[in-house]
Amino acid sequence: MLPKAIVANMAEVAGDGKLARLIRATMRPPHSPVTTLPASVAAALRLPGRLSAMMHVLGEAIAPFWLSYGLYMAQVEAACLGHCIGCRGYNASVGIWLPINVNALLDEALRLVRQLGRPLPPRDREGGGLEPGGY
C-alpha cells in the first residue's frame, strides 16, 4: 500500500499536475488515503475504464501478499543485523563482516594513518600490503 500523498507528489514531479490534483482529491473520506502500485500505474498510464478497474482489483488482491512479504523481509534483515553485530568478526568502523585477522590489519592500518597523518601507501602488484614494523 502506498500513501496517495506520495503518489501525488511523484505525479507532480513527473510534470502531471492534473493527475496529482485528481489523486489529492481522492485522499479525503469516503476514499482511502492509500493506494496500490497497480492502481498507481493504471492512473499514470490513463488506462481505460475496464482495464483500470482490473488493475485496481489486482492491486487489492495482491496487497496482503505484498505487505506480508515486506514484513517478512524486514524480519530477515533485522535477524541478519543482529547476527552481524553479535559476531566477533564484525567491524563496526567498516560496517561489514570480515575475518578477524583482516579486522586486526584494518585496525592497525587506521591506527597508523591517524598516528602519522598521511595516507596509506598503495598496495604492490603481488597483493602485499604493509610490512610489519615499516611504513
One-character DSSP codes across 98-113: --HHHHHHHHHHHHHH
pTM here? 0.49
**Which of 80, 95, 125 finishes a domain?**
80
Structural domain boundaries enclosing 105: 87-135
Residues 61 and 104 in one domain: no
Q: Are residues 10 and 60 in the same domain?
A: yes
**Do 8 and 36 lie in a common domain?**
yes
pLDDT > 90 in the chain, percent: 20
pLDDT value, residue 50: 92
Residue 90, pLDDT score: 61
State how far the Cα of 103 lies from the Cα of 4, in Å rounded to an integer: 46
The model's pLDDT over 108-126, given as tens digits with 9 standing for 90+, comes to 777 877 777 766 555 554 5
Cβ contacts of 101 within 8 Å, gap of 6 or more: none
**Cell of residue 100, nine digits:** 578477524
What total number of domains does the chain contain?
2
**Cell numbers 533485522: residue:** 78
What amino acid is encoded at 20 in this protein? A
Could you report the per-residue pLDDT of 56-94, keeping only the tens digit for each?
A: 899 889 989 988 999 999 998 888 877 777 766 665 666
Query: Hey, which residues does 91 pair with through a beta bridge?
Result: 96
**9 and 70 share a domain?**
yes
Instruction: Write down the pLDDT at residue 83.
Output: 75
Question: In the prediction, which pLDDT does 135 show?
Answer: 42
> What CA–CA distance (Å, rounded) separates 93 from 33?
42
